[in-house]
Amino acid sequence: MTGPDVLDDVEVQPWDQVVESQFRRATGTIQDLRKRSELYADTLDQAGIGPDFEVRDWSDLTAIPLTDKNAIRASLAAHPPLGRHLAVDPSDVTQIQATSGTTGSPSYFGLTPNDVQTWARLGARGFYAAGFRPGDVVLHAWSLSKGFTGGVPVVRMLQQLGAVVVPIGAEGGMERILTVAKDQAAVGLCTAPNYALYLADMAERTVGVPATELAVRSLVVGGEPGGGIPSIRSRIEAGWNATCCEVLGNSDIATIVWAECPDRSGMHFIGQDIVLAELVDPEKGTPVEPAAGAVGELIYTALEREASPLLRFKSGDLVEVLGTECSCGRTSYKLRCFGRTDDMLLVRGINVWPTAVQEIVAGYAPRTTGAMRIVLDFEGYTTNDHLRIEVERGTEATTDDDATLARDITSAIRSKLVFQADVHVVGPGEIEPPGAGKVKLVERRLPGGGA
């Protein structure tokens, strides 16, 4: 074979051409939504954006107001069931998905047959980058039952790639997933990173063989941070004797917009002709140049969405650019997600992201299982006291090491994250094991017993 091993040519197109074509498509999308979507017609009018508005560089985009989850909620409430932003006749919608609202009730959006197909193309690109191939038997073990975009849409993406999908879903439970993995000799597994670790730990006692002796040779993880944390990735890979690539998306825009290649040095953007992704300063809202080391929040515009369009959707995902070149030949920059704008804590004026703490704790395996939680024993997200962190003792470790382990982690946190932690070691299994939902890194436990 000659040339880079990619599913679609657009992945290796020179990056400046990709950006130019994205601006052209974004201009078209904005003009089109003025006619098709009541919400966006109003939004554009109020922002003074006329019919001849053109996107020529990243700063032009900042003239368009952001759409956040609250705006979507308000739109849905004003015009149920699919909101004022709906841009097609309701009879054209053939699928409705629900996203996990961070504030409780689900948020909904519709898909037309073309929307389903667009997502499938995008997802197939991501799974191919991460190592799945046509004909591979792939076990689906993300949440499948709640209408989340990691469920049925991902099944469709894997079929688009030509994989043989076994849609068990995380709700099927550890025992069923491992049994099916063994019976069907699945070579691919997609699931959440912490759940991948848990499954590996439980394999031998559940199906009689260690995960390293199952047929899985390629894992794709996502849905929560962890897959890109080196100490967690290496435990997943050792636990399964398989490669582990991370993917990232946004349930409102598309399940998979970023995917690692075999180089596993950060996730490539794969939405070239389907999604526009802006990197912006989360406080000032100004564009950030995607150079190695740059940090920003991802803002997404759907370039092909028919039913439920989104202009400049605020993802809340905070990312760091890891590089702009790769051995695989893909031309997009690569990143990793290190936190969300809504889970940042402020400890004596220092910004703290739970995933950064998790990364440090995971580095102390096998003295710890890697499971941890931050206990918020105060109101809000700001404290001037030491931050309480509970970490699990490793299954082979003894209580004799507890004090030293707590001291070592406290000191690593102080030197790397510059805040004072109050680390407590708890027994293995005391922290809720991973299941169908995201692993909770933070638990609110107020002194008065309130939640």
Would you tell me which residues interact with Zn ion (CB under 5 A)?
261, 263, 326, 328, 330
Burial of 280 by CB count in 10 Å (0-12 exposed, 13-18 middle, 19+ buried)?
buried
Smallest gap, in angstroms, from Cβ of residue 170 to Zn ion?
A: 28
Q: With contact defined as beta carbons under 8 Å apart, do 18 and 10 qualify?
A: yes
SS3 10: helix
Nearer to Zn ion, 263 or 422 (CB): 263
Smallest gap, in angstroms, from Cβ of residue 335 to Zn ion?
A: 12
Smallest gap, in angstroms, from Cβ of residue 4 to Zn ion?
A: 9
Smallest gap, in angstroms, from Cβ of residue 332 to Zn ion?
A: 9
Query: How many Å apart are CA 392 and CA 371, to the nearest integer?
Result: 6
Burial of 297 by CB count in 10 Å (0-12 exposed, 13-18 middle, 19+ buried)?
buried
Nearer to Zn ion, 139 or 328 (CB): 328
What's the per-residue H, E or C state across 333-393? CEEEEEEEHHHCEEECCEEECHHHHHHHHHCCCCCEEEEEEEEECCCCCEECCCEEEEEEE
Query: How many Å apart are CA 368 and CA 405, to the nearest integer?
Result: 8
Q: 426: which DSSP letter?
A: E
Smallest gap, in angstroms, from Cβ of residue 377 to Zn ion?
A: 43
SS3 179: helix
Smallest gap, in angstroms, from Cβ of residue 326 to Zn ion?
A: 3
Both tokens of residue 162?
């030509």
Question: Could you tell me which residues are beta bridge partners of residue 382?
Answer: 346
Q: 276: which DSSP letter?
A: E
The angle formed by the CA atoms of residues 142, 146 and 149, to the nearest 5 degrees, is: 60
Nearer to Zn ion, 263 or 408 (CB): 263
Q: With contact defined as beta carbons under 8 Å apart, do 128 and 161 qualify?
A: yes
Handedness of CA 126, 131, 135, 136 (dihedral sign): negative
Nearer to Zn ion, 267 or 362 (CB): 267
Query: How many Å apart are CA 355 and CA 317, to the nearest integer?
Result: 12
Query: How many Å apart are CA 123 and CA 258, to the nearest integer?
Result: 9
Smallest gap, in angstroms, from Cβ of residue 328 to Zn ion?
A: 3
Nearer to Zn ion, 210 or 262 (CB): 262
Both tokens of residue 186?
């699945």
Nearer to Zn ion, 257 or 326 (CB): 326
Q: 283: which DSSP letter?
A: T
Smallest gap, in angstroms, from Cβ of residue 6 to Zn ion?
A: 9
The angle formed by the CA atoms of residues 189, 142 and 229, to the nearest 5 degrees, is: 70
Nearer to Zn ion, 166 or 220 (CB): 220
Nearer to Zn ion, 321 or 417 (CB): 321
Query: How many Å apart are CA 410 and CA 413, to the nearest integer?
Result: 5
Query: How many Å apart are CA 417 and CA 414, to the nearest integer?
Result: 6
Smallest gap, in angstroms, from Cβ of residue 372 to Zn ion?
A: 31
Where are the alpha helices (H) located in 208-271, listed in sequence order? Answer: 230-240
Nearer to Zn ion, 68 or 263 (CB): 263
Nearer to Zn ion, 115 or 246 (CB): 246
Smallest gap, in angstroms, from Cβ of residue 187 to Zn ion?
A: 21
Smallest gap, in angstroms, from Cβ of residue 301 to Zn ion?
A: 24
Nearer to Zn ion, 12 or 168 (CB): 12
